[in-house]
Structure formats: C-alpha cells, structure tokens
Structure 1
Amino acid sequence: MTLPDYVHDKTRLAVLDNFAILDTSPEQGFDDIVSLACLICDTPVALVSLVSGTRQWFKAKVGFEPCETDLDSSVCAYVLVERDILIIPDLTEDPRTDKNPLVTGEPHIRFYAGAPLRDEAGNAIGSLCVIDNKPRPEGLNAQQAEGLRNLARQVMTQLELKHAIHARNEAIKLRNDHDIQRRASDTQYRMLFEAIEDGFCIVELKFDGERPVDYRFIEINPAFASQTGLTDAHGKWMRDLAPNHEEHWFEIYGRVAQTGEPTRFEHYAKELDGRWFDVHAFRVGEPTDKRVGILFADSTERKNAARLKKSAEDAQMLLNQELNHRMKNMFAMIQAIATQTLRPITQREPVDAFTKRLHALSTAHNVLLQQNWTEAKLLDVVSSVMGTFTDSARFQLEGPTVNLGPSATLSLSLILHELATNALKYGALSVPEGSVSASWDVVTLIEGSENLVFSWRELNGPPAIEPTRKGFGTKLINMGLVGTGGVRLSYEHSGFSAEFKAPLLQVQAS
C-alpha cells in the first residue's frame, strides 16, 4: 500500500520528537481516554496511536495486544492528512486498507474511525482511533463523532501539559545545577585564592561595546602585594604599577573576559627590578561579571637558570665537537697503524673484519656523542649501524624508545655489525629480495623487574646453516647485550633469527 508523503514530513516528525512521548510508560490519563472512547463509540478497541517515520506506537490501548506495528499495518497513517475524522465502514472494501495485514489476517479488523491528533500549528502526530471486528455501514452517529473529536483534543492537552511540565522541571533542574556549580566554583576559587603562594589578583573590566576602557582590582592576595608593592585593591591601577603592561591588559585580558578562553604569556617587568613573570589569566564568575583572575608567578630565577643552562649546553656542544674531531682522528690513526701492521698478512678476510669492527665502534661513539656520552637511543644505534651496510629500505625497525648506557651502546653496535655482515655474506641480505626485521620491547617479569628483548629476524633469504667453526664474531654475538649471555640463535629453513635478553637496568647503566 502507498502511504501519504506527509507521514515522512520533517516538521511533523520534529514535533513528535519534541513531545518525547514515544516508548514512555503507560499513564492513567491516556488510559482513561481510550476507555471512554470505547464506551462512547461502542467498540471493543481504542488506541492513542503516534505515527513516526518507521512505525506506529500506542501510548494507550484497549482490546489490542501489540504495543506497536510497522507502517505497513497502519491505518492511522491515513488520518494524518484528514481535516476531520476518518471513517472506514468496511476495511476490506477500501483500496487503502484491503491488503492491510491486520485486515487480511489476525485480528481481522473491519471497522475504523480515527480523529487526528494535531498541535496548535496544525501538525498531525497520530490519531485517537476506535476499531471494531465487524463492518459498520452506519459508521458513527453525530454524538459519537463529536465525543471522539473531544477526546482527541484531550489527548493533545495531556501531551502539551506533560511537555510543559517536563520543560519546567528541566529549567528548574538546570537552574539548580547552575546554582550548585556556581557555589562549588566559588568555593573552589576561594580555596585556590587562599592557598596559592604566587601573586594572584582579580580585576573587573569596564567595556565600551567590545572595547575595554577601564578596570579595577577586586582582590589581591598577599603574595601579589609583596611582589608588586601594590596593597590597595581598589585604589591602584595597573597603569600606575606597570605602564608597559598596558597593551597586554587591553588586548589579552579583555579577550579573556569576553570569550572565557584562558591564556598564558611571559611579562618582563622593567619597573620591578627587571623581573620576569609567568602570567596566567582566566575568567572568574559569570560572563556578565567581566572579571579576570590573573596569576603572576615570578620566573626570574628560572629564566636566569635557563640562560645559564643554555650557556652550559653551548659550551658542552663546542666541547663535544672538539672531542668528536679528536675521536675521529684517533680512530683514523688506529686504522692507519693497523693497516700498516697487517699489510704483510695475505689472508685479507680477518684484516677486513677488524677494519669494519673498528668502523662500527666509531659509529657507536658518534651516536653517544649526540647525547653527551651519557646514553644513546636504541633506534639511533640500530639505524646508524645498519645505514653503513645497504639500502635502509631492506631493514624493518620497530620498538619503543629505549635509552642505552655507553657500554650497551658499544656492545650492541658490534653485535649488529656481526649480524649484518653475516646476513650480507650468507643470509637474507645476500639476495636482492631479502630483508631484515629488527625489533625490541621492554618486558615486565613476574617479580616486577624489566628485561630488554631485542630480536633479529632475516626474511626471504636462503635457508640458515649453523656454522661449524666458532670464530670471534660468533663469540661476540653469544656474549649478549651486556656480556652476560641471554642469547638464543635459530637456524631455520626460513632463515636465521636471534633473540637477546638482558635486564633493563644493566642495559641502561653507564
């Protein structure tokens, strides 16, 4: 069947939603109305039916079991477009309802009369209807029809009264909540005002339209008076205290008072012995009060300390640069001496291995140098060592931020050098499609201590074969991250993998 387009009218549905009546509990007032409708119209069924965009729901009902039906079973939907009562003497003979499931099947309804439920603007949200299980060619007499109209108006009166009471209760609740929140806010503010040790004041601004034109102090705590020499909350003005603060006063505090958005900035008070202040400003009270709370925290010592720290860091950087230069010269000298000393050796593989290990140590020292020799980030160590071997795209690096002490940094650098060298000769990096996954994590043990777990896994390479000869590189790998073992090596058909475990405290120790 085709329902009227008005069923889905947005204004009508908004009115229904505004009443907030759908799916509410039964109420005596509505139940009495459907009982009276049955008596007046002499029918076994009466419903207060509210038609939404997807269903019809019954606020009150007599002689009908379901609480709601879908729109395909709705006759009340046709009442929405009627100016007066809709009367259908025999539902089986009306093309709008002859295929209705409630007509063709249980409960086989036959007669229907419904009065539209309209608000004052004429929006129909449902109907008060009466139903019989046998046809009634005579329909309703004049008294029954008038009674049904009157009862439909009573339904709307009940709905509007219910909505008005709800709106009033919400307004009272909102007002009470606002009062409670304001009292709580005032209490919290008073506790803050009395407990705060930094300079704190409250000012009230006077506006000319959107522009602040004047202001006065409402309250000043002792710390503010001590810092500024201002003791009279009502007789002194900011322009007398700090003339170069004026621009902040109008441009910043005025905006805080208007928008309620807090702000923070630094202020240099030349007239107060050149002191620095961290200034926090936020609105106090209601927006109409135009009051701003201002917290002045003397940051002069912090600023001086920051300048000293910056000077020390600059000096340390200069020292690090000189140290880096000397370390590079030293490594170059060691390499030159080694090259000259080992020149007569015909087997070049050990010589090359020594040279590359020396380069790995140099790389580790460079990473440590960036952190003033105290620690190095694990990711930086892995990235630096791996970057000397092949395309970085062939390495997958993943793990949380972990800082390594100097010893662990050097040890891990040498281990990574051996692992990468072997992968380049025999493992995944020896074929174009191979790659290496290096990952790490911090694992908490049952007793509460933490272990660093570092994993090396070679992917898409040839099968791994365990070496028969245990050279220096293998011994170096088996020593682990801090020289205490905790190493598991795996030679599988899918490739080589290794896992290194060590107590986090030892790894981070200097």
Structure 2
Amino acid sequence: MLIADLDEHAALLDRLEALEAYDIMDSPSEPEFDGIVQIATALCKAPVALISLVDAERQWFKARVGFSPSETPLSQSVCRHALASSDLLIIPDLKDDPRTRDNTLVTGEPFIRFYAGAPLITPDNITIGSLCVIDSVPRPHGLDNEQREGLRALAGQVIALFEARRLSQRKDDLFRRQKSLTSHMRAAANETLAAQEAGGVGTFEVDIETGQAKTSPAFCRIFHLPVAPIYPSSLFEGMVVESDRGLQSSDLGRREATDSLDVEYRINTDVGIRWISRTASFVHDESGRPIKMIGAVKDVTVIKRAAARVQALLDLGDRLNHLTDTESMAMAAADLMAKALDATRAGFGIVNLADETVMMQPEWTAPGVVSLSGRHHFRDYGSFINDLRLGNPVVIPDVTQDPRTRDNAQALLDLDIRVLVNVPIMDQGRFNLVVFAHHTHPYAWSTEELAFLRSFGDRIQAAIARVHAEAEQMVLQRELGHRLKNTLAMVQAIASQTLRPVKERNHVDAFERRLHALSTAHEILLERNWSSAPVSNVVEKTLDRLSVRERIDIVGDPIMLGPKGTLSLSLVLHELATNAIKYGSLSNTTGRVAINWHVEGEGDLSSFNFSWQESGGPQVAEPQANGFGSKLIRMGLAGTGGVNVRYEPSGFVAQMHASLPQLQQADI
C-alpha cells in the first residue's frame, strides 16, 4: 500500500470516528440546519444547497434545498473532493473539470454544472463533509467575496450546532444515567436503614477562623447525629477511634493547610464503629491564606468490612498453617474475627462440657471494655449452649431480643455484650473450645457476614482436623519406626548368632555394617514421615556412622529423594565409604574424598548426577574379582545402572546418574 493510500485510509477512520461521536447520520431533520441551507441558497442565489456528510460508502444530507435524494453513493459525490481542502472548493463548470465531468449527476438528471462547497471541519481538525451550493448553469466567476465569506461562516455555524447537539446529548445521557443510578440507589437504600446510611454522601464546609462546620442532612446521618445546619468541627474529630487519631483534620492542620485531603478513618457512633471516607479541599483568600475546608464524606463501612472479611480468611489460612496446637489456632482466629467484624471484644475459651462451663482466656478488647478472663457458666447467659453442643455457630444480633438470651440479657449487658457471636471448635467430635466476638451495640448481620462466620468456623475445624491427623500420623510413624528398628536389631542379633561359627569375619562385619546403613536410611525417612529426605541429610548421616565425615568435602544442590532413592543412595554410599576405608583414600591419614551431586534437565526428563572422587590415597587398581559391594556400586542408584567407575592415578572415581522422578517416587 502506498503512503498516500495509508494517509487516505487514516483520514477515513478519523472521519468515521468523528461522525460516530456526533451521532448525526440518519437523524431526523432539524429546523436549525434547515434554516442554514435556506440562508445559503439566498446568499449565493443558487437553487440547491446541501449539508453533506461523507462516510465510507455514501454522502448523506443532514439538510437540503432543491435536491430530492436524501443521500447518494460516493460515485455521485462532488463533496468528497472538498474533504482534502481546508478552504472553499469552487468548480465553475463541473462538465469541464476532470474530477466531475463523468459524474452521472452532471451527465444526466439533474444536469448540475456549478458547485461551491465550504468544508465542515471539527474542532479536532477533521473534515467530515461540506456545506455546498449547486446550480444547473456554469458560473465562470464563481462566488463573490461576500458570498464566499458568508458560506464559510455558515459552515462554521453547522459545526457549532453539531458540537452543541453533542454536548446536549451527552448532558441528557448523563442526566439519564444519574437518574437511573439515583433510582437504583434509592431502591437499595430502602431495603435496610444500614444500607441507606452507607449509600449517602454528605457535604461539609468548615470555617477555619471559627471552627464551625456547615453540614448537610446526609452528613449528619452518616455521623449518626441529629440533623442540624451547623456543628463545631471538634465534635466530629472527637468521634474518631483512638487508633485512627491523627487522620482527621484539626484546627492547626486547617489553618496551615497541611491536613490530608483524602483519608479513611473509623468513628464511634451510637450504632457502633463506622468507616468514613472523606475527600476535601481548601479555599484560599486573595492573599493565599486558607479560609475554608470544603468536602464530602461517605460511609464505606460495608465496603471496608467486605474487604476485611476477605483478608481475614486469607490471613487465617496463612496463620493456621504455621500453628500446631488448638489453643493457638483459636486465639489467632479470635484476633482476625475481631478485626473483620469491628468487634469490641474477641477471644476464646476452654470448654468443660460436663458442667457446661467455659474458662475464658486473656482476650483482645477495645479500649474501655472489661476482660472476661476467668470461669463462666453458659447457662447464666442463656440457652445457646444447646446450639454449640451440636457444633452450630451462634449469632445473636441483640441479646435483649433473641429468645435464647433475652431472659438473661442483663447479665450480658453488665459485661458490655449486646451482640454475641460464638463459633464452637469441635475437637475430634467433641465441643472443647469456643471462639467468640462481642459488640456493645445492636448489629444487623448481613447475609455475607453470616456466610463469613460459617466459612471461618469451617476453616478452623479443618485446620484442627489437619493438626490431629498429622499428630496421629506422627505417632503411627514413630511406632512403625520403633518396630522397624527393633526388627532390624533382631535381624542383626540373629545374624550374629547364626554367623558366629563363620571364620571369615570380614564378610560377617560387612553384612552387619550394611544392616546399620539400612537402619540409618530408615531413620532419616522417619524424620520426614517416610515421605522424602534431603540428599545432604542422607550423605551426612551415612558418613557420620563411619566416623570419616571430617575427611570428606560435600557439595550439592538442595534435592529431595523419595524412600526408594534414599535407601539406594544410603547403601551405595556405605559401600563406597567402606571400600575407601579399606583400600582407598581413607585408608591412610592424608587422603580425602570429594562428593558432588546436581540435577540436569527439567520435569520428567531431569537426571540426578552423583560423583564420588578420591584423592591423596594409595595407588588403586581394579580388583580381579567383584564382591557384593562392588556389584552393588555398579548397579547404580535404585538399580538403574548409569555408573562410570574409574581407577585413576589420583584415586578411585565413581560417577552415577539416574532419573530424578524415579528416585523421588514414594513407593519402594
């Protein structure tokens, strides 16, 4: 495609985008535009005047005089030739101009001969069409200066009307959207009083000199105060919770214009803690001195609590994964639940189900709220123990109204408990712990908050079940390890008794050492629940048994092996080390061994590479006969082969490789 073609294509895209923005194509006739073409015909003394808009395949007439069709194809368009010009296009005789002489509107009905068009150029400098006049007779002299200027002015007026029309449409659209949004907000606000308060936006204006604040009715409702036109700003500042102090504005901060303008903080109200989002700006006098702070506030409690609930569930999983006892889990859960629900007290208690008592542990409390630490009887506060016994969470929005607590409400109110949440923790099916959260004011629980409490309880139960399962597995593993160790000891004792008459004691000793190596491998696996073992641990513990660790240099990647790989590597290491002690570099006082391992490749094709290299020992030579140990070494890791054994002048070298996924298998 040529550069000129690219430019033309780009201009077409710009024009189509501009026409779409005006939303003018195929719109009904409008008197403002009809009047402009009437003026154009009178000004230029022409029988035809058109407001022509050119898109990709046609020219369409927003207004027309003396011309019947409402649109024509581009092949009949004279106005398209005006798109490339920033000024008037005047063709005195269309029949003589090479651009138009073959146009069917020139060669046939209505036999047009003269054309003058002023381009319609948007504020973004995009030409979308033209305002043109047409005559059926040639005009060698075209238009006079007055007619030219008038046609240009009328074209500018067309664009001005297009812009005004677009702005009006946008305003109407915004109004419709605002009206629709307001309608939806009102419908939602009517559902509950809490939702009504959360959906409002209040405005304020603080006189910095006097400290008095003009407040809108919505502002007063958001702060849960009687509606009044003026309040001292210090009243609102005093409502901010202690831990958020410093976020709100102050007399000094307003006078110096240093207060943060966009902040979120919590306030204490008669209905509990609420989250406020405040946006503000300063008004200055002519000297630049701040004289007013104006702004808006919105109750964002619902949004903040929703975010806090999500974060609490995420944090709960992270914290429970690192805890191993039930009481620590309960305390972590209570802490997170208090933050997510803006509670005034939260903690946990140890339950004695036999006498229906609970020993409350030291808990989290809001400032000024007394601790419940100590022993309490459930029945002193109501009948909700019946639900807790069944493992059901208890949620009471108002203890004075709920049938389970209203007869004992005063006992709860004396402890600053108006709202009560209890989540039972079932330990192996038995109700042993209770996690609780309290509010000092009535609280309307949302469906989302109740679902959060159920999910919270389920996650705690699952975590505690995991801890119990892991503990039971650990006991089982230890018991199996103990029995396996006893079995190996029994095998060793039987072998010692059975092989006592054998005169070739070196074979007997080698057999016993191999049993020790096998026992060591089992101990390493038992440390990790028989699932896997680090290569470094296998190497270290196997060599420690032979008392040669200080003469061996070990370098390797952090790699885990399964039971199969662990047992195989332990036995191979044992044979390599005992051979080095007998015949190789560890048979004197100066020799050393270098051990190295690493992984090559990725995924199912990854390979475990192991190297044993001796140095500083006596001259070594390949033995004439291979015993069991040599055969075990040449079998390689997990019996897969892949072994290169060399007897070099510097010392014995063994290099092995095997499939890493095979060595990491859980089965043996």
Could you tell me the TM-score, scaled by structure 1's length?
0.46
Work out which of the two has the higher radius of gyration on C-alpha atoms and give 1 or 2. Answer: 2
- Using CA pairs below 8 Å that are at least 6 residues apart, which structure has the higher relative contact order? 1
